[in-house]
């Protein structure tokens, strides 16, 4: 079946540090890949997506590249801010004809001033 594996958190960084949150997946066919973010007290919201191999999704300074050869979709940001503190979820859809997302366990990011 489909699965998504994320690095365990929390990830604690100082403001302006470089961020990487690792995500790897197991799926049949060619899934679409997503990163969702959940800010404190809010629901999950889509951060970025990539629908085919070598696509790069980007939004709000975050980037992730769909790497089929390594089945990965790592999230990066060059300079984090305190306001980026949140929980980040990697997800996939479309594998085996299913449109229902499969999520990872989430990675908490804490950014200190």
Partner 1 sequence: EAGVTQFPSHSVIEKGQTVTLRCDPISGHDNLYWYRRVMGKEIKFLLHFVKESKQDESGMPNNRFLAERTGGTYSTLKVQPAELEDSGVYFCASSQDLADGGEKLFFGSGTQLSVL
50 binds partner 1 (CB under 8 A): no
The rounded radius of gyration (Å) of the Cα atoms in the chain is: 13
For the CB of residue 16, give the shortest distance to partner 1 in the complex, in Å: 28
- Which residue's structure tokens are 């679409």? 32
Cα four-point dihedral sign 19, 9, 86, 101: positive
For the CB of residue 21, give the shortest distance to partner 1 in the complex, in Å: 15
Question: Are the C-beta atoms of 25 and 43 separated by less than 8 Å?
Answer: no
What is the total residue count of the chain? 113
- Per CB under 8 A, the list member of 23, 25, 27, 49 interacting with partner 1 is 49
Question: Are the C-beta atoms of 95 and 28 separated by less than 8 Å?
Answer: yes
Within 19-48, the residues that bind partner 1 by CB under 8 A are 32, 34, 36, 41-46
- Per CB under 8 A, the list member of 50, 75, 80, 91 interacting with partner 1 is 91
Binding region for partner 1 (CB under 8 A) out of 21-29, 65-73, 78-86, 99-107: 99-107
End-to-end CA distance of the chain: 41
Binding site for partner 1 (CB under 8 A): 4, 32, 34, 36, 41-46, 49, 89, 91-94, 99-106
């Amino acid at each position: 079946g489909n699965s998504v594996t994320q690095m365990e958190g929390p990830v604690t960084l100082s403001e302006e540090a470089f961020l990487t949150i690792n995500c790897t997946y197991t799926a049949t066919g060619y899934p679409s890949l997503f990163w969702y973010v959940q800010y404190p007290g809010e629901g999950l919201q889509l951060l970025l997506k990539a629908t085919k191999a070598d696509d790069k999704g980007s939004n709000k300074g975050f980037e992730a590249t769909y790497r089929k050869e390594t089945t990965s979709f790592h999230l990066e940001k060059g300079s984090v801010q305190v306001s980026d503190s949140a929980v980040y979820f990697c997800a996939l859809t479309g594998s085996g004809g299913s449109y229902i997302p499969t999520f990872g366990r989430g990675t908490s990011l804490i950014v200190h001033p």
